[in-house]
């Protein structure tokens, strides 16, 4: 039996699980997470400022920076926006679940 193409797997998956899911969830389930870089809506200058701020934070707190990176990697499937809201202590997990 030939290995199915990703399109065939997707169609079969959608038939068995008709609820809406993100493509990230689909790839995560298959064990082949493939992230694609999407063009940022922010301007280049702001992105460069962010990169500099992150570089300074990393230089001053290398261990904490590595730990934060690992947390983001481990919980990426929950969404960057939700991760940021929790880091900034703007919401609780219960607040996010209510939305």
Neighbours of 24 (CB within 10 A): 14
Which pair of tokens denotes residue 75? 């919980």
**What are 3-33's pLDDT values in tens digits?**
555 544 544 555 555 444 455 555 555 555 4
Q: Is the pTM of this model over 0.85?
A: no
Give residue-wise pLDDT tens across range 63-81.
Answer: 999 999 999 999 999 999 9
pLDDT per residue as tens digits for the range 31-71: 554 555 566 788 889 989 999 999 999 999 999 999 999 99
The domain ranges of the chain are 1-34, 61-99
Structural element, H or E, at residue 67: helix 62-74
- Give, in order, the Cα–Cα distances in Å from 53 to each of 35, 56, 65, 79: 24, 5, 12, 22
CA pair distance 46, 96, nearest whole angstrom: 28
Q: Which pLDDT does position 42 carry in this prediction? A: 84
């Amino acid at each position: 039996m030939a290995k199915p193409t990703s399109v065939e797997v997707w169609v079969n998956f959608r038939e068995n699980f008709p609820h809406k899911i993100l493509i990230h969830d689909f790839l995560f389930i298959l064990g082949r997470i493939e992230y694609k870089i999407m063009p940022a809506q922010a301007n280049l200058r702001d992105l460069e400022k962010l990169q500099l701020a992150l570089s300074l934070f990393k230089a001053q707190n290398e261990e904490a920076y590595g730990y934060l990176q690992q947390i983001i990697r481990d919980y990426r499937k929950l969404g960057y926006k939700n991760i940021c809201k929790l880091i900034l202590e703007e919401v609780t997990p219960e607040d996010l679940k209510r939305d």
